[in-house]
Amino acid sequence: MTHGAGIIVPRRGLGLRGAFSRRPVAVAAVGIALLAVALVAGIAAGSVAIAPGDTLGILGRRLLGLDIPRTWPATAETIVMELRLPRVLTAMIVGAGLAVAGAAFQGLLRNPLADPYVLGAASGAALGAAVAVIIPVRTLILEFGLLHVLAFIGALGAVAVVYRLSRVGTSAPMTSLLLTGYAVGSLLAAGLAMAMYLSGSGLRQIFAYLLGGFEASSWMRLAVAAPLIGIASIGILLRARSLNGLLLGEDAAAHLGIDVRRERAILMALASLATAAAVAVSGLIGFVGLVAPHFVRLLVGPNARLVLPLAALLGASLMVGADLAARLLGEIPVGVVTAVIGAPFFLALLRRARSGYEL
């Protein structure tokens, strides 16, 4: 009930959507509150716990310049400002970016199973990272190592190759894209396996990257990644109309005024950019990009104008929460947390969906 809000009273509720159907604003408000709680909790909790009141005090004092009397030790301020704040903000941006990219790929490929990595970005990034570990060169650009740079290039490169190769077949471009993505992904995975085999002592480092995490976040890294993810996500948001048109397929989208070929190329480039920037800073974190858009669609329907921003909110909250859980469990990889939370959650969603509403 998104496009039609305000004109129609539904005869029959659509499962979960019933309660929220006419109130995307309510969903947004809940999402913002959820994110705020996750952010404060993410900053307050950790190996050194800082009381939520002190956390808010530090943030108010340092970020907003409020004149709040200091009731906390100086180390708490350092921990919050130099370690936790850049970390939760990175998790927030990455979560939002992956959710938006996931929603975009699902819409573009008209495939509910698509996620940000569907066109080979994950395999490309992983191979890039593994190659970086093997190459005996250590450079640091803007606090990014060769690993991040090659992961970024690998992710973008893989998608570019997939796109290029799939353009040969014109009859069913979407199917062709998916299949090409699968084939190229398999090839890259073979390369990754070989690189890991050859990496010797670097294996652990490759593995840590593959599982993802935010422990190495910093203001500088955030400053590089955030604009890339932000610009790509906003670019996708501005093309919500094209994603809506593609709901009915490519021909129908063209009949509805969408320049399908151009829009598809632009959306794919933007979603891949967001994905590549996200995997470069945080490694491969699954499930958020798959689950967040679906959950939002259950609440507000498939209209991309609503799905994209709300999925960004939810993805951000999920990622901050997952990072917090990972930290509290002794710095286990975030990718493990998102999979452990995400998979059962997704299954529950599917089971519930079967009774009245499908994904």
Partner 1 sequence: MIRLDGVTVTYRDRAALRDVTFHVEPGERVAVIGPNGAGKSTLLRVVAGLLRPVTGTVELTGERIERLDRMAIAQRLAVVPQLPTLPFATAVEEVVALGRLPHEHPLRGLRPADRAAIAAAIDRVGVGHLLGRDARELSLGERQLVLLAMAVAQRAPILILDEPTVHLDLRHQVEVMELVGDLNARDGTTILAVLHDLGLAAHFFPRLVLLDHGRVVADGPPSEVLSPERIREVFGVDPEFVRLRA
Binding site for partner 1 (CB under 8 A): 1-4, 6-14, 106-107, 110-112, 238, 240-241, 244-245, 247-249, 251-252, 254-259, 297, 301-303, 305, 357-359
* Shortest separation between residue 287's beta carbon and partner 1, angstroms: 18
Q: What are phi and psi of 41, to 5 degrees?
A: -65, -40
Cross-strand bridge partners of residue 140: 145
- Amino acid at site 8: I
| Residue pair 23/323 in contact by the 8 Å Cβ criterion | no
* Shortest separation between residue 180's beta carbon and partner 1, angstroms: 19
Q: How far apart are CA 237 and CA 275, in angstroms?
A: 15
- Token pair 């090839």 is found at 187
* Shortest separation between residue 342's beta carbon and partner 1, angstroms: 19
Nearer to partner 1, 207 or 357 (CB): 357
* Shortest separation between residue 15's beta carbon and partner 1, angstroms: 8
Residues 6+ apart with CB under 8 A from 334: 91, 211, 212, 213, 214, 282, 283, 285, 319, 322, 323, 326
Nearer to partner 1, 331 or 358 (CB): 358
Both tokens of 109, joined, read: 């490929």
* Shortest separation between residue 49's beta carbon and partner 1, angstroms: 42
* Shortest separation between residue 179's beta carbon and partner 1, angstroms: 17
* Shortest separation between residue 2's beta carbon and partner 1, angstroms: 6
| Residue pair 241/258 in contact by the 8 Å Cβ criterion | yes
- Token pair 């670019």 is found at 235
* Shortest separation between residue 175's beta carbon and partner 1, angstroms: 13
Nearer to partner 1, 106 or 166 (CB): 106
Q: How far apart are CA 203 and CA 221, in angstroms?
A: 24
Nearer to partner 1, 26 or 329 (CB): 26
Residues 6+ apart with CB under 8 A from 75: 48
Nearest residue to 81 (alpha-carbon basis) of 89, 69, 71, 93? 89
Give whole-number Cα distances, 117 to 77, 106, 181, 218, 291, in Å: 37, 11, 9, 25, 13
Q: Which long-range contacts (CB under 8 A, 24 or more apart) does 56-62 make?
A: 59/85
DSSP conformation class of 79: I
Nearer to partner 1, 145 or 230 (CB): 230
Nearer to partner 1, 53 or 112 (CB): 112
Nearer to partner 1, 12 or 351 (CB): 12
Nearest residue to 240 (alpha-carbon basis) of 293, 297, 306, 290? 306
Q: How far apart are CA 359 and CA 348, in angstroms?
A: 12
Nearer to partner 1, 61 or 110 (CB): 110
Nearest residue to 228 (alpha-carbon basis) of 270, 289, 262, 265? 270
* Shortest separation between residue 330's beta carbon and partner 1, angstroms: 39
Q: How far apart are CA 210 and CA 262, in angstroms?
A: 33
Nearer to partner 1, 55 or 106 (CB): 106
